[in-house]
């Protein structure tokens, strides 16, 4: 019988060889994927590339865990998980070096680290879950032990897209509603192996139009990403509606809802993700381009990013921009040109400010 030491050594060698192969492929593929340009004082460079020869593709969500970055790759899996295929989650160093990868059944979209823990929450199958497979898997990133949950649909058969943690509460986006009167944002509670959902916001809720102060009725048809702004408001992206919805005091009696229409040069534009600049002078911005199979790094020099400024990206117009939270105007800082082979623009999805931590390796 082979010793455990020998088996472990061979496993380490195989893993190291695979890592070197991935690094080599990334270096060879980066130039071909570079179809983007940044406006001064911003610069944009490939962080990682997953072109031909990689076992994963279509990068989307991005999260930071300690001094590591995890990227969810959809791999072209059906968004309702009906093809039975799996997505891949890949961990990198802050310099983009491959470290490890693991799979999750279904089409992964939302990824989030629960603050103060090593828990990675991964949401799958945002368009629906007809096979009743687990659509939430919680990974322990120290051991890669996984705990699956099935979250029942609350909106006529749609799924769930993104998750955030606020004041020890869990909020998730109920995506792909079938129409009518349905929740688009719920609060989630784990109860043993089951989950409990409580409605926070419906697709036809009353809101205040932020630029004008007028009362409006929402008509949210494409709830998508979810984040928290520097004031503690939940920020829900209704992607196809070109809207951001701000929810102050969610789930409380004094909940307040505001709507912001997003435009570029006076034209409504879809927005996939929004993030807010970190206070760290060493922070940089990562953006996932699903069409280019590339995660890009964006820097601002010489002074860095201004803390609290909102940045949004578009999946249809191939831009990343600074978002004016008073009027919804998105001013591009990154633009893309069509790939000569596919004639496709970049389709930016996950967007995240990464701040290196001093107390971690």
285 three-class SS = strand
Q: What is the per-residue pLDDT across 133-187, written as a single tens digit (0 to 9) for each?
A: 999 999 999 999 999 999 999 999 999 999 999 999 999 999 999 988 999 999 9
Q: Record the tokens describing residue 124, joined without a space.
A: 């799958």
Residue 359 — pLDDT band, cuts 50, 70, 90? low
| 9 has a pLDDT exceeding 60 | no
Average pLDDT on 325-354 reads 96
Q: Where are the beta strands (DSSP E) in 203-276?
A: 206-209, 215-217, 223-228, 234-238, 243-248, 256-261, 263-264, 267-268, 273-276
Neighbours of 313 (CB within 10 A): 30
With contact defined as beta carbons under 8 Å apart, do 301 and 254 qualify? no
Residue from 222, 308, 228 nearest 262 by CA: 222
In the block, residue with structure tokens 């400010």: 353
Helix ranges restricted to H, the chain: 4-33
Residue 91 — pLDDT band, cuts 50, 70, 90? very high
Tell me the pLDDT of the chain averaged across its residues: 91
Strand partners of residue 284: 354
With contact defined as beta carbons under 8 Å apart, do 106 and 135 qualify? yes
What is the domain partition of the chain in residue ranges?
Answer: 8-201+283-304+311-316+336-354
Range of weakest confidence among 17-31, 112-126, 150-164, 303-317: 17-31
Burial class of residue 173, CB neighbours in 10 A (0-12, 13-18, 19+): buried
CA pair distance 114, 41, nearest whole angstrom? 33
| 277 has a pLDDT exceeding 90 | yes
Burial class of residue 219, CB neighbours in 10 A (0-12, 13-18, 19+): exposed
The pLDDT value recorded for residue 358 is: 80
Which of these CATH numbers, 2.120.10, 2.40.50, 1.20.58, 3.30.70, describes 8-201+283-304+311-316+336-354? 2.120.10
| 5 has a pLDDT exceeding 70 | no
| 27 has a pLDDT exceeding 50 | no
Average pLDDT on 41-45 reads 97
CA pair distance 172, 199, nearest whole angstrom? 10
CA pair distance 174, 201, nearest whole angstrom? 10
Residue from 109, 104, 60 nearest 223 by CA: 109
Nearest 10 degrees: Cα torsion 22, 27, 30, 32 = -100
With contact defined as beta carbons under 8 Å apart, do 110 and 175 qualify? no
Percent helix / strand / coil, the chain, rounded to 5: 10, 45, 45
Q: What is the per-residue pLDDT across 250-260, written as a single tens digit (0 to 9) for each?
A: 999 999 999 99
Which is higher by pLDDT, 124 or 19? 124
């Amino acid at each position: 019988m082979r010793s455990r030491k020998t088996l472990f050594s061979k496993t380490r060698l195989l893993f190291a060889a695979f890592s070197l192969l991935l690094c080599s492929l990334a270096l060879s593929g980066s130039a071909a994927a570079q179809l983007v340009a940044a406006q001064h004082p911003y610069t944009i460079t490939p962080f990682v590339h997953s072109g031909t020869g990689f076992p994963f593709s279509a990068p989307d969500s991005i999260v930071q865990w300690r001094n590591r970055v995890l990227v969810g790759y959809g791999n072209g899996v059906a968004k309702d998980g009906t093809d039975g295929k799996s997505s891949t989650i890949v961990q990198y160093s802050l310099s983009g070096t491959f470290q490890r990868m693991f799979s999750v059944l279904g089409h992964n979209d939302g990824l989030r680290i629960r603050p103060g823990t090593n828990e990675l929450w991964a949401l799958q199958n945002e368009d629906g879950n007809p096979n009743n497979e687990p659509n939430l898997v919680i990974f322990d990133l120290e051991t890669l032990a996984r705990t699956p949950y099935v979250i029942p649909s609350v909106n006529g058969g749609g799924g769930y897209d993104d998750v955030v943690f606020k004041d020890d509460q869990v909020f998730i986006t109920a995506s792909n509603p079938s129409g009518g009167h349905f929740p688009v944002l719920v609060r989630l509670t784990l109860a043993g192996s089951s989950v409990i959902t409580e409605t926070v916001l419906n697709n036809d809720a009353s809101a205040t139009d932020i630029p004008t102060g007028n009362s409006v009725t929402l008509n949210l048809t494409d709830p998508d990403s979810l984040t928290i702004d520097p004031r503690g408001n939940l920020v829900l992206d209704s992607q196809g509606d070109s809207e951001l919805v701000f929810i102050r005091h969610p789930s409380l009696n004094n909940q307040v809802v505001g709507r912001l229409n997003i435009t570029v040069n006076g034209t409504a534009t879809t927005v996939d993700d929004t993030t807010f600049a970190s206070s760290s002078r060493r922070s940089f911005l990562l953006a996932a381009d699903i069409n280019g199979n590339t995660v890009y790094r964006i820097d601002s020099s010489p002074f860095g990013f201004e803390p609290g400024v909102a940045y949004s990206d578009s999946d249809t117009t191939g831009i990343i921009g600074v978002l004016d939270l008073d009027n919804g105007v998105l001013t591009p800082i990154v633009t893309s040109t069509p790939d000569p082979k596919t004639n496709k623009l970049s389709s930016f999805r996950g967007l995240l400010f990464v701040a290196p931590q001093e107390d971690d390796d």
